[in-house]
């Protein structure tokens, strides 16, 4: 059990919040009205599959970079982290009989913190790639293709990978989109066309601003993120193209942490079986990204993987 | 000279100092060894990327930005400092307001604002004439970076230069005025050469911080050294290794800067009575006394 006060405070807050939700649910006489799927019933016994330290603490510490809607982002109150990762993390934790605590961390510390044992797992819309598997292990739980986010009316006419030649793409550093655009750029040059002009930004917001700004023609994101962003943009942005380069979004686990991987697989199995998994995806409008079964390090088996 | 008059002074033994020196060296060696031999520091990856094209490209951008913005920022800063100290109230206020604004607004905000100027003004130029251009064509990432960094540096340099000028003794100015020098000549011949001695150390410091501030251009797709390293590590998750790659380059750049700064300081301070260190070739004052 760690003695970090913030963690403890979070867990107390989480406990209070879920208690309140439980009361609310009981008062309504129905569990369907609460939005947080994880808090609708008391957690079962702590799963013995989990690493001992997590079992003892009763808390699964999850690192996330809260600037990636709809996966993980700060909610309308300006402080609570919400999103697919959060609901999914809560659901899995509950299935394993523990509480999930989310820590908002920047990308670099997400992975180093995982490696240093500061966090138990990282859930941040991370794409599983063969290259990254050298550093961490992945439990893949969302499968989705990439599409283009373009300004309204698609003035740059970017609706397929080949249409990217000579166009300005504003992308988010560290996402699979950069690899895809670079690979396409090489293809463009080979075919005697202009290369893809790639601008890289640290956050989604910075990258998408360039679309409204008129500096870039398109952004690449997976279907769920693209749909969310275009909806949130109030008509300034839209989705273009058919999904391509299917990839997995995954939970990142410290390399070789077999117990954690087994526990997560079990946890996901449970929530897929009882329907919580599908409910979370539906809540965020990404039900098309569902997997039948989570796989471990499956990233290199998909067409979108890069190495 | 009679030999028996010479004092053969024996240094006072200082066992505490020696012990401390040994401990300090051992601790330092231990830290270096621990770091260097850690299996978690992937030296092979570091060696792989240290001279890779992408990193060198980023290094070039960092260097270009730092050098260009140092020059423009310093020139603008000197101008602002002179304005600040001028006898015209209006000029002095304008300069004061500039420094107030550009020291207050975070550099990151400035960079993002300049880069996205096209959102506020899609076209810039004189309306109704052919001299109108698309803002996004003019304000490229590089131009936005130069603008933001220059304006930011100028504000800080203005304060450094103002401090240097203020440090020059009032009597010097009065003496020069008594000799009939006009303001420009007085500034060039008397004030600035003396002010430089006070200006160079903090200005060197400021340059080093500029060197590292260039990493903020990541927010405007700048592609400098640190953001290039970040781009690479976000793909392969070799975070510590790539950060070390970037740090080694920054270490080298700052070492060169510090060396040049030291040379410059000695050059400027050569005529000063209170230069910080006695030169090695000068005899120590104590030896002179014994002659």
pLDDT for the residue B77: 96
Q: Which residue of A has its CA nearest to B216?
A: A202
Which among B122, B219, B237 has the least Cβ separation from residue A136? B237
Strands A121-127 vs A67-68: parallel, antiparallel or unpaired = unpaired
Q: What is the pLDDT of residue B137?
A: 85
| Contact call for A134 and B236, based on CB within 8 A | yes
Given this model, what pLDDT does residue B123 score?
86
Cβ-based contacts of B113 with chain A (< 8 Å): none
Given A174, A210, A212, which is nearest B235 (Cβ)? A174
pLDDT confidence band for A217 (50 / 70 / 90): very high
- Per-residue pLDDT band for B188 (boundaries 50, 70, 90) equals confident
Do B230 and A173 lie within an 8 Å CB cutoff? yes
Q: Which of B145, B241, B157, B282 is nearest to B207 (CA)?
A: B157
Task: List chain A residues with CB under 8 Å of B118.
Answer: 213-215
| A34: pLDDT strictly greater than 70 | no
Is 0.80 surpassed by the pTM of this model?
no
pLDDT at A13: 53
How many beta-carbon pairs under 8 angstroms link A with B? 68
- A-chain CB neighbours of B233 within 8 Å are 108
Residue A181 has pLDDT above 90, yes or no: yes
Q: What is the mean pLDDT of the segment spanning A277-289?
A: 93
* pLDDT at residue A109 greater than cutoff 90: no
Q: CATH classification of A47-144+247-301, choosing from 2.60.120.10, 3.30.565.10, 1.10.150.20, 3.40.190.10?
A: 3.40.190.10
Contact at 8 Å (CB) between B213 and B149? yes
Interface contact flag, A111 B237, Cβ < 8 Å: yes
pLDDT of B51-70, one tens digit each? 999 999 999 999 999 999 99
Q: Do B221 and A179 touch (CB under 8 A)?
A: no
Q: Of how many residues is chain B composed?
A: 291
Read off the pLDDT band of A12 (50, 70, 90): low
- pLDDT for A31 equals 33
pLDDT of residue A307: 38
Burial A32-46 (b: 16+ CB within 10 A, else e): eebebbbbbeebeee
Using the predicted structure, report yes or no on whether residue B131 has a pLDDT greater than 90.
Answer: no
CB contact under 8 Å between A200 and B231, yes or no, is yes
Nearest to A132 among B118, B227, B237 (CB): B237
Ranking A67-76, B122-131, B209-218, B229-238 by mean pLDDT, the lowest is B122-131
Task: Inspect the interface and report whether the beta carbons of A206 and B234 lie closer than 8 Å.
Answer: no
**Strand pairing of A59-64 and A99-104?**
parallel
- Per DSSP, the residues of B14-83 read -HHHHHHHHHHHHHHHHHHHHHHH-TTS-HHHHHHHHT-HHHHHHHHHHHHHHHHHHHHHHHHHHHHHHH
d(C-alpha A188, C-alpha A172), whole Å:
21
pLDDT of residue B125: 84
- ipTM value for the complex: 0.70
**Which member of B221, B230, B239 has the closest CB to residue A112?**
B239
Rounded to whole angstroms, how far apart are CA atoms B70 and B57? 20
Whole-number pLDDT of residue B289 = 42
Reported confidence tier of residue B226, pLDDT bands at 50, 70, 90: very high
Q: Which CATH class is domain A146-245?
A: alpha beta
- Give the span between the Cα atoms of B83 and A220, in whole angstroms: 49
Question: For the ranges A47-61, A188-202, A250-264, B186-200, which has the lowest average pLDDT?
Answer: B186-200
Q: Which CATH class, in words, describes the domain spanning B41-268?
A: mainly alpha
pLDDT at A304: 53
Yes or no, beta carbons of B237 and A202 under 8 Å apart: no
Least confident of A184-193, A276-285, B115-124: B115-124
Average pLDDT over every residue of B153-176: 93
Would you say residue B253 has pLDDT above 60? Answer: yes
Mean pLDDT on A128-143? 94
pLDDT at A197: 96
Share of chain A above pLDDT 70, in %: 84
Measured between beta carbons, which residues in chain A are less than 8 angstroms from residue B240? Answer: 112
Which residue is closest to B234 within chain A, CA to CA?
A174
Residues of chain A with CATH 3.40.190.10: 47-144+247-301, 146-245
pLDDT score for B160: 96
For position A38, what pLDDT does the model report?
A: 44
| Percentage of the residues of chain A whose pLDDT score is greater than 90 | 69
Closest-approach residue (CA) in chain B for A179:
B235
- pLDDT at residue B97 is higher than 70: yes
Give the pLDDT band (50/70/90) at residue A11. Answer: low
CB contact under 8 A, A199 and B221: yes
Pairwise CB contact (< 8 Å): A213 & B235 = no
- Nearest residue, CB atoms, A173 vs list B112, B116, B234: B234
pLDDT mean across residues, chain B: 88
């Amino acid at each position: 059990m760690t003695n970090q006060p913030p963690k403890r405070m979070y867990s107390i807050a989480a406990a209070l919040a879920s208690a309140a939700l439980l009361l609310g649910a009981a008062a309504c006489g129905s569990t369907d009205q609460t939005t947080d799927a994880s808090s609708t019933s008391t957690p079962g016994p702590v799963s013995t599959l989990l690493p001992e330290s997590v079992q003892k603490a009763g808390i699964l510490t999850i690192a996330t970079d809260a600037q990636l809607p709809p996966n993980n982002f700060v909610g309308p109150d300006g402080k609570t982290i919400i999103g697919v990762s959060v609901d999914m993390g809560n659901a899995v934790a509950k299935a394993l009989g523990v509480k999930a605590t989310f820590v908002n961390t920047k990308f670099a510390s997400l992975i180093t913190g995982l490696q240093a044992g500061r966090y138990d797992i990282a859930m941040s819309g991370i794409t599983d790639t063969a290259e990254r598997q050298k550093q961490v292990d992945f439990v893949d739980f969302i499968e989705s293709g990439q599409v283009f986010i373009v300004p309204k009316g698609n003035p740059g006419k970017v609706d397929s990978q080949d249409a990217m030649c000579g166009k300005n793409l504003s992308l988010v550093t560290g996402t699979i989109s950069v690899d895809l655009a670079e690979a396409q750029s090489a293809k463009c040059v080979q075919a005697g066309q202009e290369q893809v002009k790639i601008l890289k930004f640290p956050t989604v917001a910075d990258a998408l601003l360039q679309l409204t700004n008129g500096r870039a023609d398109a952004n690449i994101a997976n279907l769920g993120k693209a749909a969310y962003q275009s909806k949130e943009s109030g008509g300034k942005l839209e989705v273009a193209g058919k999904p391509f380069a299917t990839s997995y979004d995954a939970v990142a686990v410290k390399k070789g942490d077999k117990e954690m991987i087994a526990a997560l697989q079990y946890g996901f199995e449970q929530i897929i079986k009882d329907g919580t998994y599908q409910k979370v995806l539906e809540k965020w409008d990404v039900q098309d990204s569902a997997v039948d079964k989570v796989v471990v390090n499956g990233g290199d088996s998909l067409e979108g993987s890069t190495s | 000279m009679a030999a028996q008059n010479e004092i053969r002074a024996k240094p006072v033994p200082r066992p505490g100092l020696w012990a401390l020196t040994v401990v300090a060296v051992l601790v330092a060696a231990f830290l270096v060894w621990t770091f260097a031999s850690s299996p978690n520091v992937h030296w092979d990856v570091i060696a792989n990327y240290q001279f890779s094209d992408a990193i060198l490209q980023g290094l070039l951008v960092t260097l270009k930005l730092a050098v260009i913005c140092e020059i423009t920022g310093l020139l603008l800063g000197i101008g602002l400092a002179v304005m600040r100290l001028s006898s015209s109230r209006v000029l002095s206020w304008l300069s004061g307001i500039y420094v107030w604004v550009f020291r207050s607004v975070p550099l990151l905000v400035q960079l993002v604002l300049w880069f996205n100027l096209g959102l506020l003004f899609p076209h810039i130029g004189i309306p109704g004439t052919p001299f109108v251009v698309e803002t996004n064509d003019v304000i490229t990432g590089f131009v936005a970076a130069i603008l933001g960094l220059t304006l930011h540096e100028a504000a800080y340099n203005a304060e450094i230069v103002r401090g240097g000028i203020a440090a020059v003794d009032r009597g010097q100015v009065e003496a020069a005025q008594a000799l009939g020098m006009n303001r420009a000549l007085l500034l060039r011949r008397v004030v600035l050469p003396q002010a430089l001695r006070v200006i160079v150390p903090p200005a060197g410091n400021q340059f080093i911080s500029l060197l590292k501030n260039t990493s903020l251009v990541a927010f405007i797709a700048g592609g400098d050294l640190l953001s290039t390293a970040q781009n690479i590590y976000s793909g392969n998750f070799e975070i510590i290794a790539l950060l070390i790659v970037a740090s080694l380059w920054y270490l080298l750049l700052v070492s060169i800067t510090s060396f040049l700064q030291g040379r410059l300081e000695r050059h400027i301070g050569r005529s000063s009575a209170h230069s910080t260190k006695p030169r090695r070739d000068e005899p120590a004052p104590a030896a002179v006394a014994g002659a």
